[in-house]
Amino acid sequence: MRSSVLPVAPTRGRLRPLGLDEVRITGGFWARRRQINATATLDHCRDWMERVGWIGNFRAVAEGRVHRDRRGREFADSDVYKLLEAMAWEAGHGADGGLDALLGALTDVVAPAQEPDGYLNTAFGRPGQQPRYSDLEWGHELYCFGHLIQAGVAQTRARGEGELAKIALRAADHVCTAFGPGGIERVCGHPEIETALVELARATGEQRYLDQAALFIGRRGRHTLAETEFGRAYHQDDQPVREASVLRGHAVRALYLACGAVDVAVETADDDLLAAVVRQWEATVARRTHLTGGMGSHHRDESFGDDFVLPPDRAYSETCAAVASVMLGWRLLLATGEPRFADLAERTLFNVVATSPSEDGRAFFYANTLHRRRRGSMPSADAESPRAASGLRAPWFAVSCCPTNVARTLAVLPAYLATADDDGVQLHQYADAEIATSLTAGRAVALRVHTDYPSGAGVTVRIDRSPPHPWTLSLRVPEWTRGATAWLTGPDGARRAVAPGTAALTRLFRPGDRIRLDLPMAPRWIGPDPRIDSLRGTAAVQRGPLVYCAESVDLPDGHEVDVVRVNPSTQPEDGPDGTVVAAGELAPPPDGQADDAWPYRPLDRAAPAPAAERTGIVLVPYHSWANRGPSTMRVWLPTTATTQPPEPPEPPAPPEPPAPPGTRP
């Protein structure tokens, strides 16, 4: 396999990704989270998977007792692979040599479970288990292979080819044989193998992996899976990928499939397929995405809702869907160079991916609701939690796909910051960072980025190394900003206004040059599209890329968030410690007021106005909620502006007496 330390390495496309060997995050918001990920979350995931037996499943295979002793859901193997992937990326930063040993030890547990023909799955295929590929709808065998392959690619790119990569190659060869021409002409109920095979093709230069991925993409939507209780759209098997107009069905499945489709489109120069995914992304962002960037509205099947079905208290917004959306945005950004894809990725990273892990990196949100009505109880530290039941982050879940997905994303995050092309360097996400790359052979560029983003408004880029020719530094100007300015600091720099999109500066840079981007971050009210029924009459606050929320721990004792009303005619203001204070009132029902017998009333019978107490409402960044114990929480807050009920209609006029017979009107 070829080696360069990055998660996605297209051979074509508008922008060239930079690897972990070219970008380093050195401080700030993401550095803290990455540090916790490396020092706490990786161990936490490994400990839990030992405890619940998911790692032990591989030992049970080697010892011939897996049919009796296997633990966890049918896709539990995939979480071991995602942890391996996270460890590989983290080891790739070279910070901790001990991680290589852990990676090696875990690989040694997995290896003996692989069959001589490359098949590897602890849930299927042995006496006493269901036969291989007998349940493609729900069995997840190819999904698990996909994560195994991604782990193998990560290890090769980060540490050089090793045992894990060999296991992954044997598995991929097996998949090509079993599902290639003349093999099983079906797809997996959970996409993931597609994007993994393309990455393996990129890493190895082997065309057959790309061909197999293209076959899977082409087969999807042709009813090769049985229809299940959730309908064909759940598995994206209702329509061929290039004919669909929007993402639908199970959100993680839909987004992983879209990633695979972009990968195939890019590598095969299939511009129609790429355009189809871009259209689906546009429709999904315009009509099926929460303010946080989260995706998914249905708890029952973890799926997208219909257009504008985005109820905040039922926001499923699975953490894995956010990870998948960032993966998709990154692929589309590399293919097209358009900053809108980085805009959504930023929103999603700060408001969903960063929300999931607790401050200590040892508990996680699976679903990321936007409205929590009841204070949850502390999830057990000793038992797996149900996926979405708790109002607090849980250490582990019976379906625990999200923690390992967060771990692998944070481990590789520096690779999502910047790109290059022959003409220059593009910064897409802002963090304190060092970037060193070459535009073309011999044209080395080194940059130092200083910022306290997302709290502060400024980004300074210092040029540390530059070729003796002009080149272009491009900075994403986020979609949320108004009044942004960019300039070269020093005597020859004129400050200029820059609009959301891209600010590009082309010149003969010299070491020591500094470029400054100022992004005003005053908190702002955000209103929903009127077609989102469940949000009518509410407003939310955003400051920079951060979405804010009210949390009961910031209200007077005994109050829950549902008593909060806000007044969007007054601008919210910065408060202490990253909070925002919004004008509003607390309107609890009068003490002791009994419920009405029936919670509806004729519009002409006005409800008694609750006695409201005007106050500043303290709002905190959504990503930080539920870190201070059980609380109720709300992102979209009802506004104080009330709509007067319409006047009751005039009673109908009494009927005219009938005209006497023989008269004309």
Q: Which is nearer to Zn ion, 83 or 515 (CB)?
A: 83
Q: How many residues bind ligand FUB (CB under 6 A)?
A: 8
**Cα separation, 217 vs 190, whole angstroms:** 12
Query: Residue 71 corresponds to which amino acid?
Result: R
Q: How far is CA 539 from the centre of its chain?
A: 23
Q: Choose from Zn ion, ligand FUB, none: what does 553 bind? Cβ within 5-8 Å by kind.
A: none
Q: Choose from Zn ion, ligand FUB, none: what does 525 bind? Cβ within 5-8 Å by kind.
A: none
Q: Which residues contact 619 (CB under 8 A, 6 or more apart)?
A: 541, 548, 549, 550, 554, 572, 575, 579, 580, 581, 582
Pairing status of strand 424-427 against strand 471-477: parallel
DSSP state of 565: E
φ and ψ at residue 417, rounded to 5 degrees: -85, -40
Should residue 254 be labelled a site residue for ligand FUB when binding is judged by CB under 6 A?
no
Q: Do the beta carbons of residue 619 and residue 658 sit within 8 Å?
A: no
Residue 364 beta carbon to Zn ion: minimum distance, rounded to whole angstroms: 9
Give the helix/strand (H/E) hosting 437: strand 432-438
Residue 37 beta carbon to ligand FUB: minimum distance, rounded to whole angstroms: 20
- Within 190-229, the residues that bind ligand FUB by CB under 6 A are 190
Q: Do the beta carbons of residue 439 and residue 413 sit within 8 Å?
A: no
DSSP state of 390: -
Residue 318 beta carbon to ligand FUB: minimum distance, rounded to whole angstroms: 5
Q: Which is nearer to ligand FUB, 44 or 82 (CB)?
A: 82
Q: Which is nearer to Zn ion, 400 or 534 (CB)?
A: 400
- Within 313-342, the residues that bind ligand FUB by CB under 6 A are 318, 320
Q: How far is CA 118 from the centre of its chain?
A: 32
Give the helix/strand (H/E) hosting 586: strand 580-586
Q: Which of 36, 85, 623 is nearest to 356 (CA)?
A: 623
Should residue 302 be labelled a site residue for ligand FUB when binding is judged by CB under 6 A?
yes
Q: Which is nearer to ligand FUB, 75 or 453 (CB)?
A: 75
Q: Which is nearer to Zn ion, 406 or 477 (CB)?
A: 406
Q: Choose from Zn ion, ligand FUB, none: what does 186 bind? Cβ within 5-8 Å by kind.
A: none
- Window 348-367: contact mask with ligand FUB (x via CB under 6 A): --------------------
**Cα separation, 14 vs 420, whole angstroms:** 9
Should residue 123 be labelled a site residue for ligand FUB when binding is judged by CB under 6 A?
no
- Window 56-75: contact mask with ligand FUB (x via CB under 6 A): -------------------x
**Cα separation, 341 vs 493, whole angstroms:** 30
Q: Do the beta carbons of residue 412 and residue 89 sit within 8 Å?
A: yes
**Cα separation, 607 vs 585, whole angstroms:** 18
- Give the one residue of 20, 106, 210, 401 binding Zn ion; rule: CB under 5 A: 401
Residue 296 beta carbon to ligand FUB: minimum distance, rounded to whole angstroms: 8
Residue 595 beta carbon to ligand FUB: minimum distance, rounded to whole angstroms: 37
- Give the one residue of 399, 406, 425, 433 binding ligand FUB; rule: CB under 6 A: 399
Q: Which is nearer to ligand FUB, 171 or 274 (CB)?
A: 171
User: What does the binding site for Zn ion look like in residue numbers (CB under 5 A)?
Assistant: 318, 320, 401-402
User: What does the binding site for ligand FUB look like in residue numbers (CB under 6 A)?
Assistant: 75, 190, 252, 302, 318, 320, 399, 401
